[in-house]
Structure 1
Amino acid sequence: MTSTRDAALHADVDRPSRREQILRAAAQLFAERGSRAVGVDDVGAAVGVTGPAIYRHFASKDAMLAEMLLRISERLADGGRECVAAAGADAAEQLRALIAFQVEFALDNPALIVVHDRDLTSLPESEAGQVRRLQRRYVEVWVAVLARLHPEAEAAACRARAHAVFGLINSTPHSTGRLDQGSLRDLLRRTAWAAATA
């Protein structure tokens, strides 16, 4: 039988850090209102602290935005490579793994998708450039797999195909709630596969 102390320790492990709580709350608020319309006090209120307490974790609201966009870009770039490696040598299996990975990311992070689409240009150029470089790394993982499935296609065509698939999957912020998540996951995987292999 699990003791109260063990349960408390387990809860502490599962509980996100204050920094993580701040980033999640900021992402949700930025998605709803746009980063420019959200103040530090708003983010603080969402996590139950005063606005000035946020400054113990982030130098500014822009620092929050930069970290959330850099983190998701790193996660996608690293995760894409890991998916391909784990799928083995078959390009079709690699593509299935990439599609499943992107679909799960989109279903789990609709707010981050909205923030990225709308607020990337709000970052200072140095940080926006870092985000774009990481995104290019992720795209090139897809391009390499698609090039093996479409050996007759030029790299530019494979890149365009990858972006088309991202657009399809990342439309989830506009469809969340209209289908149950299982049905939406299945629909996205099937339609993304059709778009990638057509």
Structure 2
Amino acid sequence: MREQPDTTRVSTPTRNRRMEILHAAAELFAARGFHGASLEDIGGAVGVSGPAIYRHFPGKEALLAEMLLAISSGLREAAVTVVTAASGPQDALDRLLDTQITFALEQPALITVHDRELDNVPEPARRQIRRLQRLYVEEWVTVLAELHPGCPPPRLRAATHALFGLLNSTPHSAGELEPEAMRGLLRGMALAALVNIA
């Protein structure tokens, strides 16, 4: 008689190795630069050999490309979601600020990697990243145009980029304040900056 499988055993979920690799690579690229962190370093950070990375990514450039594409597509999708759900332009702006501030507080390594390493992404993926970023900016510009109807779009676009510079300064201030205090500071400074947009 064939032995019946034990159905009482509870299986534990396996770790998402791909996400672990992306997270470890972001931290290492931020600390050492793209060229200063090897696949062996990344593998070691997640408990595998360097060559084992190739089971998940074709190489280091592909890993970087996926990392930065995920940032750009994630922010753009989040912006579309919160703007669609908002009750009006001020509510939409509040939600956009929450989204960007949360990203800035939780992912300072990704901000650093994006600022320093975008040129190391292969050209097709780099074009896609830039396109997603432009679409993300336009979500902000559309909302700001409703709040400041007389303000020309180029000025709103420039203000949005300047605002991102303020909010994405977190890699330089990590650990200075508790997260909630930093969140309040960033929100207050962002709203004060937008007062003079028109």
State the secondary structure of the residue aligned to 1:37.
coil
> In the alignment, which residue of structure 2 is the partner of 1:37?
36
> In the alignment, which residue of structure 1 is the partner of 2:102?
104
1:181 aligns with 2:172: no
**Counterpart Cα distance in 2 of 1:196 and 1:162:** 9
Q: Which runs of 5+ in 1 are unaligned?
A: none
For residues 57-105 of structure 1, the C-alpha deviation after alignment (integer angstroms, 9 at most, x for no partner) is 00000011000000010000000011111222x1111101100110001
Moved over 4 A (4+): none
Q: How many residues align?
A: 189
State the secondary structure of the residue aligned to 1:35.
coil
Larger Rg computed on CA atoms: 2
> In the alignment, which residue of structure 1 is the partner of 2:156?
158
**Counterpart Cα distance in 1 of 2:51 and 2:161:** 40
8 Å contact from structure 1 (residues 149, 197) kept in 2: no
**Counterpart Cα distance in 1 of 2:101 and 2:30:** 19
> In the alignment, which residue of structure 2 is the partner of 1:22?
21
State the secondary structure of the residue aligned to 1:184.
helix
Residue number among 67, 90, 93 corresponding to 1:92 in the alignment: 90
Equivalent residue letter for 1:75: G
Percent same amino acid among aligned pairs? 52
**Counterpart Cα distance in 1 of 2:194 and 2:119:** 28
Residue 18 of structure 1 and its aligned partner are, at CA, apart by: 0.2
> In the alignment, which residue of structure 1 is the partner of 2:195?
197
1:143 aligns with 2:164: no
Residue 197 of structure 1 and its aligned partner are, at CA, apart by: 3.0
State the secondary structure of the residue aligned to 1:36.
coil
TM-score by length of 2: 0.92
TM-score by length of 1: 0.92
- Indicate the RMSD between aligned Cα atoms, in angstroms: 1.4
**Counterpart Cα distance in 1 of 2:181 and 2:146:** 30
